[in-house]
Amino acid sequence: MCNVTRTNKSSTGNRAGKLSDKYRKISRMVIEEHLGRELSIFEIIHHIDGDRSNNEIENLQIMTREEHTSLHCAGRRKRIL
């Protein structure tokens, strides 16, 4: 999913937001335990198979926000050239 657009008036999206937040916390805990250190806010956890509830260490990949955004959005953006 490509979630780079910001929605300011999202009173309806709160439930889904909390759910993905929970999964994100779990994946960070798994990675942090695996690495033996805390992740910085600049480190994003990518779920390799696209399933955010699959927090097996093999399914998690650390990348920067830029890498993560371009990974998910590459090819979606139409090139105007």
Interface contacts to Zn ion, rule CB under 5 A: 46
CB distance 1 to 27 below 8 Å: no
Residue nearer to Zn ion on the CB measure, 24 or 46: 46
- With 0-12 / 13-18 / 19 or more C-beta atoms within 10 angstroms meaning exposed / middle / buried, residue 71 is middle
Residue nearer to Zn ion on the CB measure, 69 or 80: 69
Smallest distance from the beta carbon of 80 to Zn ion, in angstroms? 26
Smallest distance from the beta carbon of 1 to Zn ion, in angstroms? 8
Residue nearer to Zn ion on the CB measure, 4 or 35: 4
Nearest residue to Zn ion by CB is 46
CB distance 45 to 64 below 8 Å: no
Alpha carbon distance 81, 18 (integer Å): 39
